[in-house]
Structure 1
Amino acid sequence: MGNRQSPYLPCQSTIMAQSKNNKTGESTASIEPENSSDNNASTEMPTHNITLEQLHTLQNQVSALFSIHQELQETTDLITEAVNQIIDDPERVAMSFEEILVLIKDVIDRSD
């Protein structure tokens, strides 16, 4: 279940130029998102100037969010598996809400 690839991969950007401000010593990067194959001007994003530190922070945040997304997807898959077990067993359909939650928790705990 954990090997499933998400359709929501981080978007790709190209660093167009890097420069350093001689007065402040601050490095900046000009980034531009890679355009999709349709080249639709209405969806084209503008170029933004951000510091390299901001770029690295953003990359770290995207990586963290992607990891969280993967964990949520795995948890969703486990909950779906537990619900399917309940649906497939006529005796479990009559279970109380609390019993269902315990079963879901057991399925999730077994995956760890």
Structure 2
Amino acid sequence: MPDTLERVVGPKPTLNRLYLERLLLNPQMKTRLLQIGGAGATREAITKAQAEELLIPVPPVSAQDEFATRLSTVQKMKNSHKQSLCEIDTLFASLQHRAFAGEL
């Protein structure tokens, strides 16, 4: 559970950038932001004043930093797996080509 709730707008030493980014991309937070902004005829948006009033959960900075570190680790693993998958696809395509060309 977060220690405090804080307003979002403006740089804060108590907010890790990656934590804030992922929090704002969370489906529940997106829904909340859309409710605050209202569904207009042409766009959905919140004003600066509404953003300044938005309260978000703020866990201790150490927990936010650990979250950011783990997120970065997971992202690196995902990138590594994507690269491996591309290499496997390339090798499989080469193997298929050789098999159908009668080279095996």
Normalised by the length of structure 2, the TM-score is 0.47
Q: Looking at secondary structure, tell me which structure has more helix per residue.
A: 2
Q: Which has the higher contact order (CA 8 A, sep 6+)?
A: 2
Q: Looking at secondary structure, tell me which structure has more strand per residue.
A: 1
